[in-house]
């Protein structure tokens, strides 16, 4: 889906002072390098330009940059208290049974022990069972493979968050 019109949210974003724009982008992705790359390319004429810049910046992140980005995400099943974005993105866990929540906690801990960071998945639209199955499957990945999966998942999350930014009043 491509868009040639400029959404009002993009006009507002382009008009922000650099510090305010950086704060907005930091809410999308906790990687300072990602934020800097997107700031450097302003102004954006279309949403697609912004999305392409976000995707390109994601491919350029170093391992340390990815770690910084992941640090901005709470574990699945434990959204940040008072953070509507975190709660919304993890909505699939809201109706999970206590048994499934406990299983996710154990799997999150096993994942973190294996890879050294939080299990990251684009949770939007996924059920608790789908997220559980994904972490079980990904626990068997090699660290290099998992890093690239995390990069792709972060890219999906960033795209959803950028879309919300452009289309909210």
The pTM (predicted TM-score) of the whole model is 0.88
Average pLDDT across the chain, whole number: 89
pLDDT of residue 50: 96
* Region 100-109 average pLDDT: 91
Q: What is the CATH number of domain 8-167?
A: 1.10.3330.10
- Give the model's confidence band at 94: pLDDT under 50 very low, under 70 low, under 90 confident, else very high: confident
Task: Give residue-wise pLDDT tens across range 22-48.
Answer: 999 999 999 999 999 999 999 999 999
pLDDT of residue 73: 80
Task: Give residue-wise pLDDT tens across range 145-168.
Answer: 999 999 999 999 999 999 999 987
- Give the model's confidence band at 86: pLDDT under 50 very low, under 70 low, under 90 confident, else very high: low
pLDDT of residue 79: 60
* Peptide bond preceding 102 in cis form (omega within 30 of 0): no
Give dist(CA 104, CA 83) in Å, integer: 20
Burial group, residue 40, by CB count within 10 angstroms (0-12, 13-18, 19+): exposed
Helix segments in the chain, DSSP class H: 8-15, 18-28, 32-40, 47-59, 63-70, 84-89, 98-115, 128-138, 143-167
- Spans of all domains in the chain: 8-167
């Amino acid at each position: 889906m491509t868009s040639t019109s400029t959404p009002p949210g993009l006009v507002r974003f382009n008009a922000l002072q650099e510090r305010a724009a950086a704060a907005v982008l930091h809410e999308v992705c906790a990687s300072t390098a990602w934020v800097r790359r997107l700031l450097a390319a302003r102004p954006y004429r279309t949403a697609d330009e912004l999305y392409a810049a976000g995707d390109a910046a994601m491919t350029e992140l170093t391992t340390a940059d990815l770690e910084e980005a992941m640090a901005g995400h709470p574990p699945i099943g434990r959204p940040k208290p008072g953070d509507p974005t975190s709660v919304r993105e993890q909505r699939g866990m809201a109706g999970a049974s206590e048994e499934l929540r406990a299983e996710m906690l154990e799997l999150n801990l096993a994942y973190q022990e294996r890879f050294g960071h939080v299990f990251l998945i684009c949770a939007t639209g996924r059920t608790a069972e789908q997220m559980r199955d994904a972490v079980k499957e990904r626990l068997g990945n090699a660290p290099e493979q998992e890093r690239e999966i995390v990069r792709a998942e972060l890219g999906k999350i960033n795209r959803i968050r950028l879309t919300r930014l452009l289309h909210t009043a």
